[in-house]
A and B are shown apart, each in its own frame.
Chain A
Amino acid sequence: DQQVKQNSPSLSVQEGRISILNCDYTNSMFDYFLWYKKYPAEGPTFLISISSIKDKNEDGRFTVFLNKSAKHLSLHIVPSQPGDSAVYFCAASEAGGYQKVTFGIGTKLQVIP
C-alpha cells in the first residue's frame, strides 16, 4: 500500500528551465512533508520540508507547494542546473510526535546541459 506516490519514475529538463516533481499521498493524517535528494552511491540528503499549515515553502531555487485538498505536493527547481541531476524522494509523516516517515519510490531527474 503506497501511501506516498511518485508516479513519474524519471524526468528530463533542459538546463535553466523549471523542473517540477510531483507527489501524491493518500493518508490524510500526514501533516509534515519532506523532499530528499539522492546521488548515486550516497545516502539521501534533506532538501526542503513543509508543514501542513502552509501551502508553500521556498529555499533558494527550491520551492515546495502543498495542496491539502488534492493531497498533492510538488517540488519546483528554478533554474535547473546539471548538478540537480539526482533521484528525488518525497516523504511524509503523521502528526503527533514519534512517527515513522513514509517515502515514495523516487523520481530520477536529469538536467541536460
Chain B
Amino acid sequence: DSGVTQTPKHLITATGQRVTLRCSPRSGDLSVYWYQQSLDQGLQFLIQYYNGEERAKGNILERFSAQQFPDLHSELNLSSLELGDSALYFCASSSSGVADTQYFGPGTRLTVL
C-alpha cells in the first residue's frame, strides 16, 4: 500500500460526459502528479501540482483540468469525453516537487462508451 488513494476505482461513462477523478496523496507529501496510461502505452505525464500550485504540465488536453486543494488532495476533471480518453489514470505523490521517488495510487480505470 503506497498510501496514495484514488477514487473511484472504475468509471464507465458515455461520450460527451464529464467526470472527476480524485486523489489523496501520502500523508506529508506536497506534490501530486497525474498520469494517463492508454492501452499499450507508457505512462503519459499530464500535470503536476506542488502545495496547491501548478508546477509542470505535460501532454494534457484542453478538455482536461486539475487542481490541488488546501488539504492537498487533487482532482482531475475530464470533460467532453471521447472514446480515446478510455485509459487508466494514475495519481502519484512525492514529498517535494523535485524528481524524487513518486508513490503511485492504484489508478482509476475510465471507460468511455
Residues of A within 8 A of B (CB): 4, 6, 32, 34, 36, 41-46, 49, 89, 91, 93-94, 97-106
Residue in A44, A49, A89, A104 with the greatest tally of chain B CB atoms within 10 Å: A44
Closest residue of chain A to B35 (Cβ to Cβ) is A103
Q: How far is the CB of B42 from chain A (nearest CB, A)?
A: 4
Candidates B45, B103, B105; contact of A46 at CB < 8 Å: B103
22 contacts between A and B (CB under 8 A): A4-B42, A32-B99, A34-B101, A43-B2, A43-B104, A44-B90, A45-B104, A46-B102, A46-B103, A89-B42, A93-B99, A97-B97, A97-B98, A98-B48, A99-B98, A99-B99, A100-B58, A101-B99, A101-B102, A103-B35, A103-B44, A104-B42
Tell whether, in the assembled complex, residue B99 and residue A103 are in contact, meaning their CB atoms are under 8 Å apart.
no
